[in-house]
Chain A
Amino acid sequence: QSVLTQPPSASATPGQRVTISCSGSSSNIGSNYVFWYQQLPGTAPKVLIYRNNRRPSGVPDRFSGSKSGTSASLAISGLRSEDEADYYCAAWDDSLSGHWVFGGGTKVTVL
């Protein structure tokens, strides 16, 4: 049972937009930055979004992040076949002396 709640799956056709939600609490998303990670099949995760809505260099602007209260979301617009991957949200949790928490992950399928 993950501390951050994500839908297990999402899908859309190429060119469409898909949105992934991430729900937390006041001790994590409500008071700290949200990060998003993309894990392509058979590879290590890579950071996609940092500080709620910022993209590292090299990440296409098709990817965008937002946060409101204790929830966050990742949107992928103009979906492409290479976007088929697992996506995880993460945030620092201030409880119990502090620790990182991840969402359970969302598998995005390009139909």
Chain B
Amino acid sequence: QVQLQESGPGLVKPSQTLSLTCTVSGGSIGNPDYYWSWVRQLPGKGLQWIGYINYSGKTYYNPSLKSRLSIPVDTSKNQFSLTVSSVTAADTAVYYCVRGGYDLGMDSWGQGILVTVSS
């Protein structure tokens, strides 16, 4: 059974870059049946999709965040990452890394990591 685990700093200063990594175990990130996504949840709010990368490196991003986003993948480590540049307090959220199936939906989620943007 695939498992995903987020890692990275829990505190980022305003205007800096937020960087998170998701380590995937129990499944290959190169599997063409899946894509690898980031979803965030602002405090007390709903879910916001951030973006995803697929096995071939193709990326799709939330249009409202696209200019600040990057989702690179490291197949040798079975990891994918998220960078968000020029963060503000509005980027404070729990960030989830997620495996998605094109027909099955986002079927495996990490436990989530709280990232606070504050000086």
- Name B30-47 residues within 8 Å CB distance of A: 37, 39, 46-47
The answer to whether A47 and B104 touch (CB under 8 A), given A98-B60, A99-B63, is: yes
The answer to whether A37 and B47 touch (CB under 8 A), given A45-B109, A50-B104, A50-B105, is: yes
Asked whether, in the complex, the Cβ of B48 is within 8 Å of the Cβ of A102, the reply is yes
Name the residue of chain A whose CB is nearest to the CB of B65: A99
Name the residue of chain A whose CB is nearest to the CB of B96: A44
CB-defined contacts of A35 to chain B, threshold 8 Å = 105-106
CB-defined contacts of B86 to chain A, threshold 8 Å = none
Interface bin, chain A: 20 to 34
Main secondary structure on chain A at its contact with chain B? strand
- Leading 3 A-B pairs by shortest Cβ distance: A44-B109, A100-B49, A105-B46
CB-defined contacts of B72 to chain A, threshold 8 Å = none
Q: Which residues of A contact B (CB under 8 A)?
A: 2, 33, 35, 37, 39, 44-47, 50-51, 56, 86, 88, 90, 96-105
The residue that B111 contacts in the complex, of A44, A56, A88, with Cβ under 8 A, is A44
- Count of chain B residues near A, Cβ 8 A: 23
The answer to whether A56 and B47 touch (CB under 8 A), given A99-B62, A99-B63, is: no
A45–B37 CA distance with the chains assembled, in angstroms: 14
A101 smallest CB distance to B (angstroms): 7
Asked if B110 is an interface residue, CB under 8 A from chain A, the answer is yes
A12–B48 CA distance with the chains assembled, in angstroms: 27
Could you give 22 example pairs across A and B, Cβ below 8 Å? A2-B46, A33-B103, A37-B105, A37-B106, A44-B110, A44-B112, A45-B109, A47-B105, A47-B106, A50-B103, A50-B105, A86-B46, A88-B47, A90-B47, A90-B49, A97-B60, A99-B62, A99-B63, A102-B46, A102-B48, A105-B46, A105-B47
